[in-house]
Each structure stands twice: as C-alpha cells, then as structure tokens.
C-alpha cells in the first residue's frame, strides 16, 4: 500500500516525473493525490499545475544552476528542485521552509547524498533571485517550437496567446436551460454569496469571479449547472438545432457538448454520442444522468463508419475532433511538456480523415460543425480549406457572430485571460445538388 502521509512536494516531484515520461497530469495526479493526506491535495495540485505552467523557465534556471545534469536514476530530484524553484518564484511560502522541506525530501526519496547539493542550489537561487531568462523559451515558458509556431501563425497575437496560456483560467458554468434560466441562476448564486457574471457570447454561460468546488454550486448535484468553458459552449450554439433532428456527436467524451445540445433543444429526435475511448465513455453517462438527459452511447472509432453506422443520415453532426489542445494550455499546462511538434501533422491527418468519413453520414441539407480547442491553423482552417477543395457538396456557412477572428474558412477564438479558451469553429452544410462524393475518401489526406 502507498504511504498516505507522503510529503506533498515529494508526491509533486513524482507526479511531474511521470509527466516528463509522457503521462498527462490527469493520469499522474490522482495517483499522487492518493499518497498524501487529504488536506494536502489542493496544495499538491497547485504545485503540479504551477510547476508545469512555469516548467520551461524554471528548467532553464535550474539547468544553469546545476554544475552537471543529475543522473537518470536521480531525475526525481531534478523535479523536486523545480517544485522548490516554482515556490521561491511564485508562492508566498517562506524561503527557509521551502529550503528545509526540500532538503528533508531528499531523505524521503532515499537520496540523502544529494541533500547538500540541493541545499546549495536553492540557497544560491534564493540569494541571487531570478536570473535573466536567456531564451524566448524561458521568457515565455513554452517549448521553443511552440513559440516559433505561434509567432509564425499569429504575427499580431502570439505574445498575447503565450501570456494567456500562462494565466489561470476562470471557472465558467453552463446553466441547464431545461431547469432554470441564466438570470435566475445568477440570482441564486448572489443569494449564496458567490460572485459571478454572465458570459459575453454564450447565452447560457456564467463566469465565476473565483473558482470553487462544484459541491458549493447551488443545485449542481440536481443538474442545474455544469462546468464548461464559454468557448466550448459556443460549439453547440452553431448547430442550429431544431425539434425532430437526428444528431451525431462524433467525439463526445466526457459529454459536455452532448449534454449542452440536449439541454438546449429538448425536441431532438435522437442524439448518438460516440467516443473511441471505452474508459471515457462512462463519463458521458454520468453527466447525462446528473442532468436527467438521454442519448445513445457507442464506443467506436467514429471514422470507421462501416463498424457502427446503420445508413440513416444525420441532420446535424458535431465533430469536436481530437487535437493538440493548444487553445486550452492554461487549463492543461502539462501540454507544454507532452506535445511534440511532429504531433500536429499527425493530428491534422486524423482530423481530415474524420471529416471525410463522417461527411458521408450527413443528410443533404444537413449541417456539420467542425471544432477544435487548438490555435494552430494546421488543425483548423487549413483542414477546412482542404476539405472544401476536395468536396464539392460542402459549403462553408458564414457565421453571423461578433466574436472571434474570421480565418476565411471558419472562426478562431484566441484564449483570453479574462474570458474564454482558444477554440476554432467551422460550419459546413451539405448541398442538395452537389457532385457525387464517392471519390473523396479514396484520395487520402496528403497532409
Ligand atoms: C476534444 S475531446 C471531446 C470533448 C467532448 N466533445 C466534450 O465536449 O466533452 C475529443 C474526444 O475524441 C475522442 N476520439 C479520438 N479519436 C476518436 C475517433 N476516431 N472516434 C471517436 N472518438 C475519438 C477522444 O477519446 C476524446 O474523448
């Protein structure tokens, strides 16, 4: 059995080491949480998220402070030092406590021979303060390739995107329109002493002044609200839902958007929610149950239509494709460590492939919303441009909205420290009178 009293910084160092080895924080943090006392769990989370957020800057400083890199066997002490540097630079904790606890943690990790070195490095860091950042990667605390890619893709916005990625995201709610309207829920929050305001663009959104545990939200357990960023909420508003429609949510887990569409249009004939991940699929069921909603759930590769499609066309399709998640880095700072530059082209191939396959299941006259939480054009408007060139039946719908940037083939929202995540949206309709589309699947994406 794991020791329930592991010091919080030791558990943080171990969780971060797992991230360095390729696990997401969503995977590694629950294991670490199980090893610390319950009252330490919020601090453990803050240490892991904060250290990932500032990883590239902290790692650059540490690299310069170490005479030589730690041996692979001692790598966890590298993470321990990053956590301590994060605290020295970004927390209110007293320096002497950070130093003492970190030196002590070396013993807990069975690395007492490194205690002297750890002490010396942290003393120097405390005495000398934060050094010049030296590189753009350290300055912006992002991997070099991401800084370059953002600068290239968004010459006017790249620094704002990088700054937004390093900010802490607000907590945003979606009011369940079947139960209560937004004004009344805002009043309920006010009566409970919770400060909040309506979101600027999403009609059912509420942004809290400060995050808080969902158990403290009035009516949460009974389905009055869900947690969902404003940008994610906007996806379903673009579907133009109406009674009687058959709707496909092709990449649905954990079901935030499946639930949103069912809340917003109670008269839908049928909603089919697919996800490839058998482990994520139950999360959709949990969300539907809490909100008192119904959908048909399928565990399948949505693109392998031969495996699951019965040949009946859909009136509406939401294609919220797997992506780099580069628009939600502020919520998932581990993405900076996990994502590789080569992932983007691989994801683009998957994204175009899903769009090509699912297009066949859309009824003539039907509407498909393509969405990503990415800010890289390769996953966004370039996919749409490419698809429009190869698919004469597809027509791009101009969106009558004020928000976001027009890319020429869809709209891009960039992450806003005061508001929504980064997201991309394109709305396509299938023309009644277009050319046959049977050839499109054979071409391959060539991306
Ligand atoms: C961006 S998330 C979806 C978020 C979801 N729409 C929501 O709002 O809660 C992408 C999802 O696509 C799923 N996925 C990836 N490839 C897939 C495929 N080929 N077929 C179906 N689902 C897939 C992943 O398991 C993941 O749950």
Give residue limits of the domains in the chain. 8-140, 172-227, 230-442
Q: Cα dist. 422→214, 328, 373 in Å? A: 23, 6, 6
Q: What is the pLDDT along the chain (447 residues), one digit of tens a residue?
A: 445 589 999 999 999 999 999 999 999 999 999 999 999 999 999 999 999 999 999 999 999 999 999 999 999 999 999 999 999 999 999 999 999 999 999 999 999 999 999 999 999 999 999 999 999 999 999 999 999 999 999 999 999 999 999 999 999 999 999 999 999 999 999 999 999 999 999 999 999 999 999 999 999 999 999 999 999 999 999 999 999 999 999 999 999 999 999 999 999 999 999 999 999 999 999 999 999 999 999 999 999 999 999 999 999 999 999 999 999 999 999 999 999 999 999 999 999 999 999 999 999 999 999 999 999 999 999 999 999 999 999 999 999 999 999 999 999 999 999 999 999 999 999 998 754 443 333 333 333
- E-strand stretches of 155-293: 172-175, 196-198, 205-208, 225-227, 246-249, 270-275
Q: How far apart are CA 96 and CA 75, in angstroms?
A: 24
Q: What is the whole-number distance in angstroms between the Cα of residue 321 and the centre of ligand 1? A: 6
Residue nearest to atom 12 of ligand 1 (CA): 251
Query: What CATH number has the domain spanning 8-140?
Result: 1.10.940.10
Could you tell me the CA-to-CA distances from 197 to 183, 200, 418, 425 in Å, in that order?
10, 9, 12, 25
**H-only helix segments in 268-340:** 281-291, 305-308, 335-338
pTM of the model: 0.94
Furthest C-alpha separation in the chain: 76
Nearest-CA residue for ligand 1 atom 13 is: 251
| Burial of 271: CB neighbours in 10 Å, binned 0-12, 13-18, 19+ | buried
Question: Among 255, 275, 380, which is best to mutate for testing ligand 1, by the most ligand atoms less than 8 A from CB?
Answer: 275
Determine the CATH number of domain 172-227.
Answer: 3.30.70.1170
Residue 432, pLDDT score: 86
72 Cβ partners below 8 Å, 6+ apart?
none
Helix 256-264 and helix 230-237, axial crossing angle in degrees, nearest 10: 50
* Alpha-carbon span 210 to 120, nearest angstrom: 38
Best mutation site among 322, 346, 374 for ligand 1 pocket (most ligand atoms within 8 Å of CB):
322
pLDDT of residue 374: 98
- How many other C-beta atoms can be found within 10 angstroms of the C-beta atom of residue 345? 12
């490839």: which residue's tokens? 276
- Whether domain 230-442 has CATH 3.90.180.10: no
Strands of 219-378 (E only): list them: 225-227, 246-249, 270-275, 296-299, 314-320, 362-372
Residue 251 bears catalytic tag? no
Spacing, Cα 68 to ligand 1 middle (Å): 42
- Burial class from Cβ neighbours inside 10 Å (0-12, 13-18, 19+) for residue 268 reads buried
Q: Which residue, by CA, sits nearest to atom 10 of ligand 1?
A: 322
Q: Hey, CA dihedral for 79, 143, 380, 345, is it positive or negative?
A: negative
Query: Tokens for 394?
Result: 């597809």
DSSP run (H or E) holding 412: strand 411-413
Strand partners, 333: none
Q: How far is the CA of 357 from the centre of ligand 1 (A)?
A: 15
Token digits for 441?
């699947």
Ligand 1 binding pocket (C-beta < 6 A) is 232, 251-257, 274-277, 280, 301-303, 320, 322, 354
CB 243 within 8 A of CB 268: yes
Task: Using the mean position of ligand 1's atoms as its centre, give its distance from the Cα of residue 232 in Å.
Answer: 13
Rounded Cα distance between 337 and 79, Å, is: 13
Strands, DSSP E only, in 191-325? 196-198, 205-208, 225-227, 246-249, 270-275, 296-299, 314-320
The two tokens of residue 181 are 């309207």
């Amino acid at each position: 059995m794991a020791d329930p009293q592991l010091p919080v910084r030791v558990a943080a160092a171990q969780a971060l080491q797992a991230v360095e080895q390729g696990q997401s924080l969503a995977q590694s943090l629950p294991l670490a949480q199980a090893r610390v006392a319950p009252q330490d769990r919020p601090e453990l989370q803050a240490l892991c998220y904060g250290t990932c957020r500032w990883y590239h800057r902290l790692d650059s400083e540490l690299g310069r402070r170490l005479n030589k890199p730690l041996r692979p066997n001692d790598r966890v002490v590298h993470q321990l030092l990053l956590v301590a540097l994060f605290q020295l630079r970004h927390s209110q904790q007293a320096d002497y406590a950070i130093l003492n606890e970190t030196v002590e943690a070396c013993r807990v990790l069975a690395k007492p021979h490194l205690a002297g070195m750890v002490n010396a490095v942290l003393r120097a860091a405390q005495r000398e303060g934060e050094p010049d950042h030296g590189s753009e990667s350290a300055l912006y605390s992002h991997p070099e390739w991401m800084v370059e890619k953002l600068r290239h893709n968004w010459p006017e916005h790249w620094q704002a995107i990088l700054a937004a990625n390093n900010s802490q995201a607000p907590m945003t709610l979606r009011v369940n329109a079947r139960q209560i309207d937004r004004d009344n829920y805002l009043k309920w929050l006010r009566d409970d002493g919770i400060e909040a305001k309506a979101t600027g663009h999403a009609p059912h959104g509420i942004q809290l002044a400060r995050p808080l545990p969902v158990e403290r939200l009035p009516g949460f357990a009974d389905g009055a609200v869900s947690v969902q960023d404003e940008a994610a909420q906007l996806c379903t508003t673009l579907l133009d839902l109406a009674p009687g429609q058959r709707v496909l949510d092709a990449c649905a887990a954990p079901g935030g958007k499946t639930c949103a569409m069912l809340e917003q249009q109670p008269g839908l004939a049928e909603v089919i929610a697919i996800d490839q991940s058998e482990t994520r699929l139950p999360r959709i069921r949990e969300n539907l149950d809490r909100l008192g909603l119904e959908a048909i759930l399928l565990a399948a590769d949505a693109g392998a239509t031969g495996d699951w499609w019965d040949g009946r066309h859909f009136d509406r399709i939401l294609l919220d494709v797997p992506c780099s998640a580069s628009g939600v880095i502020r919520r998932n700072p581990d993405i900076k460590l996990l994502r590789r530059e080569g992932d983007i082209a691989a994801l683009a191939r998957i994204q175009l492939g899903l769009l090509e396959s699912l297009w066949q299941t859309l009824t003539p006259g039907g509407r498909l919303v393509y969405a990503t939480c990415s800010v890289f054009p390769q996953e966004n408007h370039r996919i749409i441009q490419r698809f429009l060139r190869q698919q004469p039946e597809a027509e791009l719908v101009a969106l009558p909205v004020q928000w976001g940037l027009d890319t020429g083939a869809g709209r891009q929202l960039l992450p806003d420290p005061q508001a929504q995540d980064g997201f991309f949206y394109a709305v396509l309709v299938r023309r009644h009178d277009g050319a046959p589309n049977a050839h499109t699947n054979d071409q391959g994406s060539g991306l």
